[in-house]
Structure formats: C-alpha cells, structure tokens
A and B are shown apart, each in its own frame.
Chain A
Amino acid sequence: MDNLTRRRFLTMSGVTAAGALAVGATRVDWSDLMTAAVDDPLDAGDAVLVVVTLYGGNDGLNTVVPAADRAYQDARPDLAYQPDEVLDLGEGLGLNPGLKGLKELWDDESLAIVRGVGYPKPDRSHFRSMAIWQTAAPEGAVSTGWLGRWLDAAGGDPLLAVSVEPTLPPLLAGATTAAASMPVGGLKLPGGRLGSAFAALGTSAAGEERWRAEVARSVADLHSAVRVLGGAMHEQPDQQDEEQDEERTKGASAGGSSQLARQLDLVAGLVEAGVPTRAYSVSLGGFDTHADERGTQQRLLTELDTALSGFVRRMRTSDRGQQVVVLVYSEFGRRVHANGSDGTDHGTAGPMFLIGDRVGGGFHGQQPSLTDLADGDLKATTDFRDVYAAVLGDVLGAEPERVLDGHTGRLDGLIRA
C-alpha cells in the first residue's frame, strides 16, 4: 500500500485506542523467547518504563495551574482555581488540589514536570492527535507506535513490552513485533484433555491463510505467557458498574480504561517477580471534559494521584522497583478559554509528568504564554519527541534517533544517570 492508501485505511479502521496498527505485524516465536525470559530475568539495574495514557485530552492549565495569572482567571472565570486552592510549586504554578500525592513526590524531587509539550501544527481530533503521540509522527502516516519501533529495534522480543489493557494500544505495535497484552483479572487456562487440545491449536499449519496463522500464533503466545507470568497473576473481581457514578464518566467519549490502580498493581507484581519486561502501558480515560469540568477532572486527577503514589511507594521497597520511571501524557490540552458549559473544548499543548527515583525532579521546559496565543490556543514550547528521546536513551538504553525517525531533539536532565 502507498502512504495515502495506508493512511486512508488506518483512518477507516478508526485507529482509535486499539490494535488496528498491529495489522500485518507479529512474526515471533514466543516459546523460544519465553525460555530465554526464564533463563534471564530482569536485571536489578535495568530501568523500567511505565507509560500512562490519559485519554480524552487532559486540561493542562487546570492540572499545573497558573492560578495567580490574571489572564488565566479572565479566560475561565468559573473554571479557574484560586491561588490558595492549588498546591504551590513555585514559579507562579501550583498543582491541582486533587494531586496531593504528586505534590509529596515533587517535594522529594521525584516528580519532573515538562511544561508546554506538544507538536507543530496541532490537530484537534482525539484520534488523529492520539495517533500522533502514539506513533511519534506528527507529519504523516506512520503505521507503527514509538515503543513498537523500539521493540523492533531491540530485537523483536514481545515480552519486552506489556500492555495491561484488554486491547493493544497502537504505541506498542511495531512493524514486526507487537507487545504482549495482559488482562487485569489474570490469566487462567484449563488443564486436562481440554487444555491440551486447546494448546495444540497453537501449532502452526503449513501454508495457512494469514489471519488464521495469527490466531494460531496468539494461542501459542497465550500459553507461553501463562507459563512465565501465570505465577504473578491473581484473580480479582471485575469492578462493578454500580461504583462508577456520573462525575466519573462525564468525559468518557474519547476512550481509555477506568481501573488504573488495578492495572498498576499488576505492573508492580510483574516488576517484583522479575519478568524481563522493560516497558508497560496502562491508561485512564474520561478526560474529554467538554462540560462541568472542574468536578470531573479533579476526581480523575485524584484517581490518578492515588494510583500513582501508591504504585511509586510500593516500587520504592524493592531494588528492581527503584529503577521504574513513570511517564504520564494526554493527546492534547484544552482551550485556554472555557466554553460556556463550564468545560473546555479540544486544545493544544499540555504538561507531561515523569516520576521515579531516577527522575530529575522540578520543572523542565518553558510555561507557554497565556497572552501570546495561536488561534486561542497555547503555543507548545517543547516537542514531545524530545521527551521520548530522553526516555528512550536514558531509561531504555536505545538510540532515540533510530526509533524517532531521525528526530534529534532531546530534553537533558530529565533522567538521572
């Protein structure tokens, strides 16, 4: 397929929060790699990356809040936080009151905030912008995710990256390798004759049609994954819908999961068990706050805060855990001006968080101006690929330029040596 056809195809497939990008991928012999994984567990000195995707477009200005700025108060009088409400970070900025745990991490110098992150010619479509962040290709139609390309470059071991979501996000799909996906509820396979017959479906059949071959391979992958990871799983009841009330779901139309704490709990177990996975993907949805934003967003940020600070506390208690770096991003920030339904519409640049003992705490990048706007939107001051480059180089030990299609920018001082 030429690029245009490919792009139209991806658009039609609704790229969305799913593995559409993985179409045409995965040619890996899992069992060989699994054996290697048992022989060669995660080195205690190897850093581990946990990517947290916030779906829907988190409002950056109400996350890292310029509360004392007149222009901020004027742009969104009913939405704005007052200076005495936010958790002061200095430089005229404060954290949303829902982020108390992150404030403690900030005080410990374990939280880095990169300000004004975006990309040239911002796109206000959830799906297009999320595809840009996940493929790290603002200019065009790339069918692989940035961590997928890292997987390809790192030798094609799918266990190097694990998604703790029911479907595979595009960022983990490479040209030849797709990451493994683990359910939060754990994996449990039957034994006996039924189990052996099911396992035998994972045998490849010569000359088999492409999708059937992929089904067979996925059955084989599943058994290998259960062999290696099965011990780290534990059954948990599914979250009841009754627990989700209205404020929680107000911004849900742009996708993402709703069980961040449980996803991170599973990741913590895998890291502690020494699974040789270097990158994990988790997500939280609901940030598409077109209306009644304040309550909804603060609730979501509180959920994020509770999940992240619990995870980081737990990770500090083990050698392997201390090597974990968490990266938090969303597909865009929101407009500077409120929209009249006490919400905000799709905007541009926003802050990114990096968390962990190996992170260079404090502010990075410049805060975008609230008066020098582009079409009512913030102008990005840092390219998100500069942050990816730092993470690829300093956490995953990769060559960023190779993964980021020759992009040479890199944010220094984000990760400690």
Chain B
Amino acid sequence: MARTSERITDRSAVRRLHDRLGFGPRAGDLDVGFDATLDRLLAPAAPVVPPELGAPPQQPARDDREARKAANKARVAQEKVLLSWWLDRMVAEPTAAERLTWFWHGHFATSSQKVRSPQLMLAQNQTLRRHALGSFTDLARAMVVDGAMIRWLDGNDNRKGSPNENLAREFLELFTLGIGHYTETDVFEGARALTGWTVRRTSPQPRLVPARHDAGSKTIFGRAGRYDAKGFADLALAQTASAPYVAGRLWFRLVSPAPPSAAVRRRLQQAYGERRDVRALVRAVATDPAFTDTASTLVKQPVEWAVGLLRALGVRPSALDDMTRLRLAAGLRGMGQLPLRPPSVGGWPSGAGWLTTAAGVARLHVAQLVAKHADLRALEQGDRVDGVRALLGVDAWSDRTRQALSGLRDPRQLAAVAACAPEYVVSG
C-alpha cells in the first residue's frame, strides 16, 4: 500500500503523544517539546496505593435469598469503589504506565460480571500495573495464573484427568499468538499444563494444588516435556508469531487500525527484543515516523474520551459525589465501555463500533455531567470558541464546529457540545 505520507505539526505530535500514551493533555502540557514529553510519559510511575475494598462478603447459604441479595449488593458496592478509584488514577496519573495498564485490561480482557470478586479484579489490576511497561514475558506468565483470569476462564475446573480448555485456548488465540498459529493439540495439551491452578473464595491468591495438576509429559508446539503453566506460557511466547501479534495489538490501539508496514514491524520487533520489553516497544511506536503520519487517526475509546475530558476540565472523580460518580459509570456503560466489564474475553470493539446512535446520546450526557462539575471561568469572556478549543487541546476547529459552537453563551453548554465535536471524539 504505497502512499505519500504527510506529518502532523510538532505541537500536534505532542498532543498525539498525550492522547495515545496517556489520557490526553492538560493545561500547559502542549508547551513542552516532543522528546521531553515522551521521556516524562515513559518515566517510572510513582507507587500506587490500592483502594480499601474490605473483605469479600460472607458466602451466604444457597437457599437464603435475602442473604444472597445482601452479599451481591455488598459486592457491587465494592466494585464501584474499585471503578471510581481506577478512573481517578487515570485522570490523575501523568505517566504512560496508567494508559498501558488500561491497554492490558483490554488485551487480557476479564469481566467482573463472571469473576464476581472485586478483590480478584483489584489483584489483577495490580499485576497489570506492575508489568505495564515491563517485560511481556513476566506479564504473560503472571496472567496465565492470575486469580481473576482463572475464575473468568474456568481454571478452577481444569483438573488432572478432565482438562478444561477455556484458558489455554484464549491464551493462545487472544493473548499471545492470534488465530491460525496453534493447533487443537496445542490447546488440549496446554490445558493439561495449566491443570491444578485454583483460586478460592477466601483468598485473592491463587495456588497450585498438586493433586489436581497433571505432571505427565505433554506435547506442545511439537515439543514434549513435563510442562507447567510457566512452561506453557514460555512456549507460546517463543513462537515466531507472538512478537508481531503483541506489537500489532499495541499498534492497533495506540496508532492506527491499519496494520504496521513490514518495515515498521521489523523496527518494533527489534525494540521489543528477546526481553519482550514493553517500554522499549512503546518508545519505538512513538518515535516511528508512522506515528506522526496524518493518516494515523483513531476514534477514542469511550473511557479514553471521558478520562481525557475529565483531565482537560480539571475534574477529579474522587472529588465528585456518589450520585455523580454513579451517573458517570452509567454514561460509560451507555457508550459501551465500562472498565472491569469488557463484553467478552476478546475485549472491546473499535473505530465505527463506538459511533452508534446509542453511544451518541450517552456521550452528550457524560459531557454535560463533566462540564457541570468543571471550573469554566476561563470561558466567560474573550473568544470562547477558541478558548474551549485550547482547553480541550484540540488542534483546530472546522468551520462546521466553529459555527455550531458560536451560538452558545453558557460555558457549560459550550464545553459539553465541544467535547462531542468530531475534532475531539477522534484523536487526529
């Protein structure tokens, strides 16, 4: 696919860095240069204090309807605490580690709907966070024995003599290799390697129950051995299809729905290297000429759009009242993307999948909600239309949008409608 490529301006490139490696720019961010911005984004994140969720609710007796209802209610409340905490982290954190934590959540997509344990979801979040910019080897090894993942993909039922293939299959198909790069034998034998990993209700710490583990020889990718979970993960990662797959997934979410060219792919793989270094991979993505190509546009995912808006307008979720936070979560659900609740293990859709009629209504409601809680005094005088452009970090308005916004006097209405403009919904 040959085409003459054009570059975006330096200032737009800094804005794009914030959009893609972070959650969008804040006031003043665009006055810093590209290299300094990239270094700051890729710097180690400060240690994170996890939220206090409290203990899991007591497991009620099966026939006690009231107790079951109460336990469900307590769990839902804990999940809300976790969600608000995470959204607040995304708004507050100035480094790429937070954005990559979010990326990996979509990659190793696990839903609280089935896991039914905010404690396990938090533990998984901590693991994604720890390895967000580290080695994919460590991340993949950790996720194949992660408690939430085990419950999500039926690991508890995967026992010696009766392997359950769910986790082994998705690990190969969605997490490490992509479809077409493994056989049914690899799935079956891989499931055997994962037997015995179990997570209990009482602890977020999964463990290997030796009596349930099949320690016999397995043949995976044509090699025989007494493989365990780590051995299985390592075999998958060693396949030649793995590095391009992982780099391609990252590219798809951070740069463009168009796959990288062969030359770009080679550069990315070289950076990723034998250590499977995610930070180096992300740096290679951001410094590749294709990153600043005008054609590398993306529809922001709803969470990225909403968090970016909260950042730009200086609204911290932790400072909002419970009802507003609930409405924010309902709005994200309406747009089709609630963190901790991906629609399936395949993760979230992309591109036009976010531009449904249903999502459009929810987007406007969320924009109004955020604008209502923002300090918008800067928009009370002067060229308000240009003021809201600068506030949101948009490169330029089209005549269409300038005209649409020109009739609005109320700063809150102005900010809400501007946030729904194509120039803000799409990361140019």
Contacts and interface: CB of A to CB of B under 8 A. Distances in A.
Q: How large is the interface on A (under 10, 10 to 19, 20 to 34, 35 or more residues)?
A: 35 or more
B100 to A, nearest CB: 18
A173 to B, nearest CB: 8
A222 B361 contact: yes
Contacts of B153: 253
Given A19-B352, A185-B334, A212-B428, A201 B357 contact: no
Interface string B154-194: 10111101111110011001100011100010000000000
A128 interface: yes
A18 B348 contact: yes
Contacts of A188: 361
Given A19-B352, A211-B297, A166 B164 contact: no
Interface in B328-350: 330, 333-336, 343-350
Contact of B417 (A182, A197, A218): A197
A254 B152 CA distance: 10
Interface stretch (A95-103, A145-153, A243-251, A354-362): A243-251
A47 to B, nearest CB: 25
Interface stretch (B11-19, B108-116, B266-274): B108-116
Given A211-B299, A340-B162, A197 B405 contact: yes
B240 interface: no
B399 interface: yes
Interface residues of B, number: 91
A408 to B, nearest CB: 29
B116 A249 contact: yes
Contacts of A180: 357
A215 B164 contact: no
Nearest to B330: A238
A11 B89 CA distance: 31
A246 B257 contact: no
B246 to A, nearest CB: 10
A17 interface: yes
B69 interface: yes
Contacts of A280: none
Given A201-B421, A238-B330, A346-B165, A222 B360 contact: yes
B161 to A, nearest CB: 6
B72 A241 contact: yes
B426 interface: yes
A346 B153 CA distance: 13
Interface string A184-202: 0101111001101110110
A289 to B, nearest CB: 9
A218 B156 CA distance: 44
Interface string B265-301: 0000000000000000000000000000010011100
B259 A215 contact: no
A243 to B, nearest CB: 8
Interface string B402-428: 011101111001001100111101101
A6 B347 CA distance: 19
A22 interface: yes
B353 A18 contact: yes
A125 B173 contact: yes
Contacts of B159: 340-341
B343 A125 contact: no
A11 B179 contact: yes
Contacts of A225: 357
A241 B180 CA distance: 37
A218 B355 contact: yes
Contacts of B7: none
B351 interface: yes
A369 interface: no
Contacts of B428: 209, 212
B113 A252 contact: yes
A181 B335 CA distance: 12
Interface string B383-404: 0000000000000001111011
A166 B358 contact: yes
A24 B257 CA distance: 11
Given A194-B416, A254-B345, 18 more contacts: A11-B179, A19-B351, A127-B173, A127-B346, A167-B354, A180-B357, A200-B403, A209-B428, A213-B422, A214-B352, A215-B299, A219-B422, A250-B114, A285-B344, A290-B154, A290-B157, A341-B159, A345-B164
11 contacts: A8-B259, A9-B259, A167-B354, A190-B368, A193-B413, A200-B407, A211-B426, A219-B420, A245-B72, A256-B344, A345-B164
